Amino acid sequence: MHELMNIDIGHLISDQDQAGFISRADFNNFAAKYGQGFEEFQAPLRDKKSPITLSLGEASAITGIKELAQKLREKYDNILLLGIGGSALGAKAVLQFLHGPFYNLEKHGNPRMFILDNLDPVLVTKALGVVDITRTALIYTSKSGSTPETAAQFIFYYNKYKEAGGRLEDIVIICDPGDNGINHIARQLGCHLLHIPRDLPGRYSVLSSVGFLPAEITGIDSARLLAGAAAAHQSIIDTPLEQNAIFALGTCLYELAMKGKSIHVLFNYSSLLFEFGLWFVQLWAESLGKKLSLDGQVVHAGTTPLASLGATDQHSILQLFKEGPADKVLGFVTINSLPIDVTLPEAFPAEKEYSYFTGHTMGEQLAIEQMATEMSLVGAGRPCYRLTLRDISPEVLGALLYFYEALVVYTAKLWHINPFDQPGVEEGKNITYALMGRQDYSQRRPDYEQAVAQFKQQGVRLKLS
Ligand SMILES: O=P(O)(O)OC[C@H]1O[C@H](O)[C@H](O)[C@@H](O)[C@@H]1O
């Protein structure tokens, strides 16, 4: 992993015992205090018992995924990928990091990929306006198969597709194995059906067919993504405690949370990492934000993730990071070697605001701005760490994704919570099912309707115009 990315946590620690940082003495005591817990985290990884290691077993699915991707590439100009949360965010992160922001506008001979991850009548209708549905393949990704937003999208496009004479057997459904509606539909349509390992939760599923199929369709070798993840895995289980990045960073983040750093900002210094930032937000939030501990105590665990984009957000939220509440720890993600750089030629030499650029590259400027921002935050007493990615390659991204998955699982151990469930999102779903008239929720419907009426009554409406 060290060849793919490296990490600097030096500015989470203070030798002067500065408030808001980890003291050197505390840091030196981590092994004694948390070493045992870290071994308990490493053991299931080593034995391939941790759910995140299920991704490593997905190597066997890659040949089939490549064949399917090839077929779809040959037949179709566009792909509409329907999914939400973990069924969309990872694929978006992969495509953006490896293809850049203009993939759909560039000429490369591969299908354009539209990932529709919201319930929005305007979005779904507009998408129909930009693709020829008869030249478009549908991928419906839903681990549970019961997510109402994605199901509604699928019903809409399935009908449009059928009306247009689309080949139903070319539809792709990606879901859990199981005896449920989505599996029944796939079998009824005789379409492609790819299964996600049952115990691999959706937000950890990017390194499975969920991320691999969109990657392959657009020309990314998913075996290289997985090779990067495998390298990260090996490093996490082999590296001794004192140099182990997951141990040091995870423990620092937990201890800083105990000191009131309740917000974890990931400040990504490349437009290619914007979607990765959103993937991180779901992973961190749903895995660590828990009311109950493993033994049933009310703990309200977790820290709030926030994704920022450098250099853009230096001009919006940075002011707050530096001078607002001291409740944040910031992680910078930078890319060491860019495949493209731009040297600025001389222009307006008489003007001091413009003349100093001559001969500098934009990559150099971005790196300077990142360091300047980080230094200024550390100087203001804000703890920061930095991940430096070797380059823009599938191996690096695979390692980065697996690194954060493992970091979340280790941090959850410190919080003593389950990182693989999300009980907090269920209630809203149940109310939706009941109010939308789902049959198996009919008994609960009157109660929910009454509760909704009461809730609305409690509102205090003010006039704005
Ligand atoms: O993949 P699906 O089953 O459709 O789930 C999509 C999303 O639904 C829920 O909101 C869960 O909290 C998320 O973790 C999940 O990623």
* 438 φ/ψ angles, rounded to the nearest 5 degrees: -65, 130
Q: What is the mean pLDDT of residues 401-415?
A: 98
Active-site residue identified among 286, 374, 395, 405: 286
- C-alpha span between 340 and 150 (Å, rounded): 37
ipTM over 0.95: yes
pLDDT category at 427 given cuts 50, 70, 90 is confident
Q: Rounded to a whole number, what is the distance in angstroms from the first to the last CA of the chain? A: 58
Q: C-alpha angle 325/330/336, rounded to 5°?
A: 150
Domain coordinates in residue numbering, the chain? 5-46+225-415, 53-220
Binding pocket residue ranges, ligand 1, CB within 6 Å:
84-87, 142-144, 147, 150, 202-203, 286, 422, 425
- What is the domain class of 53-220 according to CATH? alpha beta
pLDDT category at 308 given cuts 50, 70, 90 is very high
Alpha helix positions (H), 54-106 = 62-75, 89-99
Q: C-alpha angle 386/390/394, rounded to 5°?
A: 115
- C-alpha span between 36 and 341 (Å, rounded): 46
Most informative mutation of 147, 174, 418, 426 for ligand 1 (most atoms within 8 A of CB): 147
Token duo for residue 422? 């999300």
Query: Does residue 48 have a pLDDT over 80?
Result: yes
CA of 196 to the centre of ligand 1 (A): 13
CA of 16 to the centre of ligand 1 (A): 45
Most informative mutation of 210, 422, 427, 431 for ligand 1 (most atoms within 8 A of CB): 422
CA torsion, points 98, 101, 106, 108, in degrees to nearest 10?
10
Which residue's alpha carbon is nearest to atom 7 within ligand 1? 85
pLDDT digits (tens, 9 = 90+) for 5-33: 999 999 999 999 899 999 999 999 999 99
Q: Average pLDDT over the chain, rounded to whole?
A: 96
Query: Does residue 157 have a pLDDT over 80?
Result: yes
CB 212 within 8 A of CB 90: no
- What is the domain class of 5-46+225-415 according to CATH? alpha beta
Domain 5-46+225-415 matches domain 53-220 at the CATH topology level? yes
The pTM assigned to this predicted structure is 0.97
